[in-house]
Chain A
Amino acid sequence: MRYRSLFPRDIFGELDRLQREMQQAVDLSPSIRGIGRGGFPAMNVGGTPTGVEIYAFAPGVDPATLDVQIEKGVLTVAGERKPEVIPEKATVHIDERFAGRFRRVVSLPEDVDAANVQARYRDGVLHISIARKAATQPRRIAIQ
């Protein structure tokens, strides 16, 4: 147990630390890139025997401006979401939505086939399907 001041000066810093520690306790083996929560776009990653499915929740983005790349087993999703135009003399009461440039990176399993990728953008979700290499897919062996 590390020594900690009984009277932390920075309550917000302490809250951040608590949150980080809780996150680490839940996340048993974080990746070195540590797919950090709370980033934009939020991401879900799933796998099937034949492929890897990645969902990036990027609402309000022009799909033509999205940049998706696979290089050395790493998938990068980058782009920009423009802030909403705020009319003159308007008051912003709540400002929670992300605006600006973004980039998120996911490490892929070794057996994916980077040449066999499909990406679709629908209802604000970018869905990327990457096939696994045929050689690594489970095969049923016929018994003669």
Chain B
Amino acid sequence: MTDQPAASKQTEPTGNEAAILPPVDVIEDSSGITLYADLPGVPKDRLNLHVEADTLTIEADLVLEVPEGMEANHAEVSLPRYRRAFTLSKELDADKVQATFERGVLKLRIPKAEHAQPRKVEIKVS
């Protein structure tokens, strides 16, 4: 979804570098799944989402405006990247994932495939 570093990263096995596991909310309704992830400090162009086989991976780089010569006194966020992966189940339509990213919050909407959406089964009583 984004520029060059992502492409070069994919050739090496991901998951080697230490990364922050961002907190998420996952909510399911009848037509799909909504995922929210907290990724503060990530500019839009440094967010990388990809689906491979049935794994959805969120990777993002944290970019902070740090004045020259700053010494960290206290750091709760001490790694420069986020990573988290999810296994998608078959009924989800990975081709139709919609993403919005605002104020450091990623919102993903993964719809269920048409055939997997609930249908009311009529039962005839004879």
Query: Measuring CB to CB, which residues of chain A are less than 8 angstroms from any residue of chain B?
Result: 35, 37, 41-49, 51, 53, 55, 57-61, 84, 86-87, 89-98, 121-125, 127, 129
Contacts and interface: CB of A to CB of B under 8 A. Distances in A.
A60 B26 contact: no
B115 interface: no
Given A43-B74, A59-B103, A61-B103, A92 B67 contact: no
B70 interface: yes
Interface of B: 23-30, 33-34, 36, 38-43, 63-78, 102-105
Contacts of B64: 44, 55, 125, 127
A125 B104 CA distance: 8
Given A47-B71, A124-B40, A124-B105, A37 B27 contact: no
B41 A125 contact: yes
B104 A60 contact: yes
7 contacts: A58-B40, A59-B103, A86-B27, A92-B25, A123-B63, A124-B103, A125-B41
Helix, strand, loop or mixed for chain B's interface?
Answer: loop
A60 B105 contact: yes
Given A49-B69, A87-B29, A93-B28, A124 B76 contact: no
A98 B66 CA distance: 26
Contacts of B28: 90-91, 93
A60 B38 contact: yes
Given A59-B103, A92-B27, A123 B42 contact: yes
A46 B72 contact: yes
B105 A37 contact: no
Nearest to B69: A48
A128 to B, nearest CB: 12
Given A37-B76, A46-B73, A127 B65 contact: yes
Nearest to B106: A59
B73 A45 contact: yes
Contact of B40 (A49, A86, A91, A125): A125
| For the complex of A and B, 9 pairs with smallest distance between CB atoms | A124-B104, A59-B104, A124-B40, A96-B23, A60-B105, A57-B40, A59-B40, A94-B26, A90-B29
A41 B40 CA distance: 10
A124 B73 contact: no
A84 B66 CA distance: 31
A48 B40 contact: no
B39 A59 contact: yes
A90 to B, nearest CB: 4
